Amino acid sequence: MPRAEVLEQIYTIVAQIPEGRVTTYGRIANMTDGATARMVGSAMRHLPSGHGLPWHRVINASRRVTEHTGAVHQHEKLRAEGVVFDARGRVLQDILWP
């Protein structure tokens, strides 16, 4: 798990991702003081119940939802926000944030 101050940075960045947009673990990591993409993924996996952060708006570098137990739910949440996936399961480049 990342140190507390980096974790706070990750959560602050995730909270800013607008509805209908997505960003990658790596992009979030690059906006922090020392996090890696894996640290961002770990932070998303360990969110406490009832957190309210838009975790579903964080995807992998290939613009796909990473396979995990909540992947189907993540796809549903993104589609409900108007996110479109191509035939290969990738989100369109132009909706990446920032």
Mean pLDDT for 12-25 is 98
Does residue 98 belong to any structural domain of this protein? no
User: What is the number of structural domains in the chain?
Assistant: 1
Instruction: Establish if 97 belongs to a structural domain.
Output: no
**CATH code: domain of residue 60:** 1.10.10.10
Q: How far is CA 95 from the centre of its chain?
A: 13
A 10 A CB-CB count for 19 gives 11
**What integer is the mean pLDDT of 61-74?**
96
Q: Is the pTM of this model over 0.85?
A: yes
Q: Is residue 71 part of a domain?
A: yes
pLDDT band at 2 (very low <50, low <70, confident <90, very high): confident
Measured in residues, the chain has a length of 98
Domain with 40 in it: 4-91
Q: Establish if 96 belongs to a structural domain.
A: no
Q: Find the mean pLDDT for residues 39-44.
A: 96
